[in-house]
Structure formats: C-alpha cells, structure tokens
C-alpha cells in the first residue's frame, strides 16, 4: 500500500513532533526533509560548495548530532533558496514518498512541489511568539546559549527567506488542511492530525 502524508509549515510549528507521532500511529516511515537541507548547510559551513554538498549527501551526514543548531538552521535556509540544491534532493524525497507501507514527509514544499498528489496534506502553523518560545525551550534545554529575542529574530529571518524565495516557497497547498497549534498542547495537535489521516484513509484496521 502506498499512502503519503505531506506535512508543511514554518519553523518550530510542531511539524516534527506531529509527523513522528502520525508515522508511529499508522506504522508509516517518516522523513524529516529539513535534515537534507541542514546536512547540506552544515557542509557548506565547513567550506564546501552548496551543490557539491547536496549532490553527495550520505546517510552519515543525516545522522550527525550537530544539525539542530541555530547556525546550521540558517545555513540550511540559505542553501534551500538555491534551485539546483533543491533539484539535487528531489529524487531521494520522491523515492521515500513512494515506498510501500506509507510515508510521512515533513518540510516546506512537500504538499506543493514534492508530493502534490499526497493523500493527506497538513499545513501546521502557530503564531511567532508561540513558535519562538517552543524553540527557545528546546535550544536552551539542550544547553545552547540563546535568548528569547534572539530565537524570535532567527525564526522570523528564516521564515521570511523560506517564504519569499522564488523556488518552492513555504506556503500552504491549496488543498491542505491548516492546523494552527498556537493554543494547542502536543496531544491535541497530534490527535487532530491523526483524525485527518483517518478521515481520508479510514480507521486503522485492528
Ligand atoms: O524544518 P527545518 O527547520 O529543519 O528546516 C531547515 C531549513 O531547511 C528551513 O529553514 C528551510 C529548509 N527546508 C526547505 O526549504 N524545504 C523543506 N522541504 C525542508 C526544509
């Protein structure tokens, strides 16, 4: 069975948490496509040319434990604005989406560009203040030396770049269901996403 769930939205809206939970609930595979851009951006920070990095990503690049820093996030957003970098990452994402057993992909352009025929499309968002607070707690919890103001400015800069680029900008697909998680806890947001998948797919067979 092929079944694709596309989950897009701005930084720190809860896409990752929701995607993992949906994948676990239905037994689908999950690809965080931001990791592809983060891994590319990290290699660029080390001096490599963006396109060379994107074309030669390895499994080890994706598994590094230093991809979640603010510096790598900004580098990812910058390489993601280069059309040739995006093109170099398409085949991997298409193959993942088409795997048997179902797949959840989360990112910025999954419902619009990578999987325009996805069975379910969610656009997960939340207001700036809520997203910045979540990211601040995550980064400071990991020991990073960050301030709330700095995290908010960083998110806004990244969202503006991701939304305003010419190729595959961040925006909801016309047929996406928008899930605003500003006033929601994790459990409610996950339940809403699972309910949407069930609505399309039918309840999980026992
Ligand atoms: O989801 P994330 O924060 O890990 O993504 C890091 C950056 O990668 C994000 O700022 C923009 C880029 N990105 C993208 O352009 N397209 C995607 N499908 C996923 C991420």
Residue pLDDT, tens place only, 164-192: 999 999 999 999 999 999 999 999 999 99
Distance from CA of residue 77 to its chain's centroid? 12
Range 184-189, long-range pairs (CB < 8 A, 24+ positions): 186/14, 186/17, 189/14, 189/17, 189/18, 189/124
Best of 33, 82, 132, 169 for a ligand 1 pocket test (most atoms within 8 Å of beta carbon): 33
Give distance in angstroms: CA of 139 to centre of ligand 1.
17
Pairing of strands 103-107, 120-125: unpaired
Report whether residue 77 contacts ligand 1, using a CB cutoff of 6 Å.
Answer: yes
Is residue 107 predicted with pLDDT exceeding 70?
A: yes
Instruction: Give the model confidence (pLDDT) of 10-59 as tens digits.
Output: 999 999 999 999 999 999 999 999 999 999 999 999 999 999 999 999 99
Give distance in angstroms: CA of 140 to centre of ligand 1.
21
pLDDT at residue 204 in the model: 60
Take atom 9 of ligand 1 and give the residue whose Cα is closest: 77
| Superfamily (CATH H level) for 4-194 | P-loop containing nucleotide triphosphate hydrolases (3.40.50.300)
Report whether residue 107 contacts ligand 1, using a CB cutoff of 6 Å.
Answer: yes
Length of the chain (residues): 206
pLDDT at residue 23 in the model: 98
Tell me the longest C-alpha to C-alpha distance in the chain. Answer: 51
Report whether residue 34 contacts ligand 1, using a CB cutoff of 6 Å.
Answer: yes
Integer Cα distance of 103 and 205 in angstroms: 17
Cβ atoms of 119 and 184 within 8 Å: the answer is: no
Residue 128 neighbours by CB under 8 Å, 6+ apart: 152, 155, 156
Cβ atoms of 198 and 204 within 8 Å: the answer is: yes
């Amino acid at each position: 069975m092929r079944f694709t769930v596309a989950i897009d939205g701005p930084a720190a809206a809860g896409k990752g948490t929701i995607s993992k939970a949906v994948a676990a609930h239905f037994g689908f595979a999950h690809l965080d496509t931001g990791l592809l851009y983060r891994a590319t951006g990290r290699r660029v920070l080390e001096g490599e040319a963006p396109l060379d990095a994107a074309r030669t990503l390895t499994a080890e690049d994706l598994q590094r434990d230093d991809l979640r820093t603010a510096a790598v996030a900004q580098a990812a957003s910058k390489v993601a604005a280069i059309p040739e970098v995006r093109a170099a990452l398409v085949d991997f994402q298409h193959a993942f989406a088409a795997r048997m057993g179902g797949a959840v992909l989360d990112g910025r352009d999954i419902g619009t560009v990578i999987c325009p025929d996805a069975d379910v499309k969610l656009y997960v968002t939340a207001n700036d203040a809520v997203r910045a607070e979540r990211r601040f707690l995550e980064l400071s919890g990991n020991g990073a030396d960050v301030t709330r103001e700095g995290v908010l400015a960083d998110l806004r800069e990244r969202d503006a770049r991701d939304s305003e680029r010419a190729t595959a900008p961040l925006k909801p697909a016309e047929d996406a269901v928008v899930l605003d998680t500003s006033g929601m806890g994790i459990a409610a947001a996950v339940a809403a996403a699972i309910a949407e998948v069930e609505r399309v797919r039918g309840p999980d067979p026992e």
